[in-house]
Amino acid sequence: MSAIQRRPLFGGNWKMHKVTADAEAYCAKLPGLVGESSAEIVIFPPAPLLRSVSAALRGSSIAVGGQDIHPDSAGAFTGDVSAVQLVDAGCRWALCGHSERRRDHGETDELIAGKGLAAVASGLSALICIGESAAEREAGRAFEVLERQLAGALAGRPEPFALAYEPVWAIGTGKTATPETAQETHEFIRDALSDLIGQAAAASKRIVYGGSVNPENAASLIAKRDIDGFLVGGASLDPDQFSAIIRSCGS
């Protein structure tokens, strides 16, 4: 695969954490910590905080994204959030198919494909998540699972999108794939992606890693050819830790 230059992408997924005062204090601090970063930085707060986070980051280069999105633009879907509403709240990105959504809400590859299409139809960029469980990796089925998830999520060919490889066994566990294992998997994903959208297009796509990333392991991971940034969970809740991850990668 061509050694094309891809702009690093760092996503901070707050999951179900923080209230307005916490979020505003965080957003007042983060831009100064990251400075004039060459990377693309996106914060994914819980839905009730989207407007306050968007307002607090206005004027900075840091973008905001939704943690989830419904495939329909409106309707009787209690508790869900549409792409139109995310855009209205100041979002530029949407997570699609995070492993916790797959696990806790039974999200299928078909549903995730619809979410990706809904995101891009409203002008959002989709960050599409794929990843295997510990049992699937131990059974030697990791690449089979990733290939299926990738083909399913991209069935409608959403554009623009980036991919997040999040090994389920490494999320919130403190376990991290070695740089070599992560690179091997990212390379497989890029090769599988080239079969779907063509080699040139796949070479330009960003594939970020998500799985217990911290300031100590980030630099060794992003040094690998096919790792283009991170989707950070727990470490993104602290602006000092999150900015340290970004800075340790030279961004």
Segments in the chain forming alpha helices (H): 20-34, 50-57, 83-88, 99-105, 109-121, 134-138, 142-153, 179-197, 199-204, 218-222, 239-248
Interhelix angle 50-57/20-34, nearest 10 degrees: 30
The dihedrals phi and psi of 21, each to the nearest 5 degrees, come to -60, -40
Tell me which of 40, 100, 147, 166 is the catalytic residue. Answer: 166
Residues 6+ apart with CB under 8 A from 150: 130, 163, 189, 192, 193, 196
- Catalytic, 166? Answer yes
Active-site entry in 40, 98, 107, 147: 98
Task: Name 128's Cβ contacts closer than 8 Å, sequence gap at least 6.
Answer: 96, 97, 112, 116, 153, 154, 158, 161, 162, 163, 164
How far apart, in whole angstroms, are the C-alpha atoms of residue 190 and residue 74?
34
Strand 93-96 with 125-130, pairing: parallel
Phi, psi of 249 (to 5 degrees): -90, 5
CA distance 11 to 15: 12
Instruction: Say if residue 7 is exposed, middle or buried (CB neighbours under 10 Å; 0-12, 13-18, 19+).
Output: exposed
Pick from 35, 26, 84, 86: which is nearest to 56 by CA? 26
- Catalytic positions are 98, 166
